[in-house]
Amino acid sequence: MNAQTRIRPAERVAYAVGAALFLSGLAHAVVLLAPGGSWLGPLSLRKAVTFGLSFGLTLASVAWATSFLTVRARWRTALLGAFTVASVVEVLLVSVQAWRGVPSHFNFETPVDTAVSMTLAAGGGVLVLTVIGFTAAALVEPGPAAPSLRLAIRAGLVVLLVALATGAVMIGRGVVAARGGDPQLAYTTAGSLKPLHAVAMHAILVLPALAWLLRFSRWPEAHRLLVVEVAVAADAVLTAVIGVESFTGTDPLAAPLPVLALSALAALALAGTGGYALSGVEPGSRFVRVRDGKARGR
């Protein structure tokens, strides 16, 4: 069965929850910006905004991208279910702490705050493990028939794993600093890795979406694969540059000119593949359902 013919129950739940989390982020943005609230600092509602928007989008992206994988139903449901629950826990606890006016991470002031911080760390571990499971399945199982889509999903999951691993390093660094009696250092050291975490987080949407869009183009699969390969290479370069900057404490906007040029070129190349894919879409093309139960571009 092709993933485009029927939405599985676990995916339907993930889409609904992802939409709810995204709306939560938007609602918090209104609450934050309407009265002119601060966007900075560990006590800002900003974290409720960014966690809601990011987790909502990522959850829906993971559910959609992994729907193309040829994975056993129980394994898929278990992995996606765990990812969904962990996403809800992360957003809910961050939002609760924001409304309480206390930091959500690296906060060990009270037993409640300690429990929240440790639960957030455990939730991050669950996210990492589930993405490792999906990545292993994508690399081992046949996956989608189109090589371009197969490559995009595999690369997207690998880069997502980089983002989540970066988040784990952020938490580890912050906990050590906070336990050492310097909570401000915890936020500083963890915050230096935010650019890498943010850039790598959404490759799971961008790369598979590009491959999916190319299915509507007039080009043969060999050409589609070439376009996806360029996008994957550009995303890898951008992620690597931002990663080096993050771990060396370099502000991406204040990096040396050659480094800025390299990251700008990679970003432009990635955006260019999207524009190129759009230019190749045939007028009136759409997915059609055929008798064998599969969907394809026409």
Check: CB of residue 266 under 8 Å from CB of residue 237: yes
What is the pLDDT, as a whole number, of residue 188? Answer: 63
What are the structure tokens assigned to 161, written together? 């794993």
DSSP 281: B
Tell me which residue of 49, 36, 59, 127 sits closest to 95, measured CA to CA. 49
What is the pLDDT, as a whole number, of residue 41? Answer: 60
What are the structure tokens assigned to 231, written together? 């996008």
Radius of gyration of the CA atoms of the chain, in A: 20
Check: CB of residue 183 under 8 Å from CB of residue 177: yes
How far apart CA 28 and CA 31 sit, in angstroms, is: 5
Check: CB of residue 128 under 8 Å from CB of residue 75: no
What is the pLDDT, as a whole number, of residue 107? Answer: 76
The 10 Å Cβ neighbour count of residue 276 is: 16
What is the pLDDT, as a whole number, of residue 249? Answer: 81
Check: CB of residue 170 under 8 Å from CB of residue 200: no
What is the pLDDT, as a whole number, of residue 33? Answer: 81
Cα separation values, 234 from 29, 132, 154, 203, 221, Å: 31, 23, 15, 11, 20
Tokens 């609230």 locate to 37
Whole-model pTM: value is 0.85
What are the structure tokens assigned to 245, written together? 């900057």
What are the structure tokens assigned to 179, written together? 């336990």
Phi/psi at 208 (nearest 5 deg)?
-65, -35
The 10 Å Cβ neighbour count of residue 247 is: 13
Which residues are CB-contacts of 60 (< 8 A; sequence separation ≥ 6)?
Answer: 14, 15, 18, 19, 22
Mean pLDDT per block of 10 residues along the chain (298 residues) reads: 65 96 94 72 77 94 93 91 96 91 80 89 92 93 88 96 88 72 62 83 93 92 96 96 88 85 94 93 55 35
How far apart CA 149 and CA 131 sit, in angstroms, is: 18
Tokens 């013919």 locate to 5
What is the pLDDT, as a whole number, of residue 64? Answer: 95
What is the pLDDT, as a whole number, of residue 288? Answer: 34
Cα separation values, 280 from 78, 148, 228, 269, Å: 38, 15, 14, 17
Tell me which residue of 136, 131, 192, 138 sits closest to 160, measured CA to CA. 131
User: DSSP assignment of 203-241, as one string?
Assistant: HHHHHHHHHHHHTTBSS-HHHHHHHHHHHHHHHHHHHHH
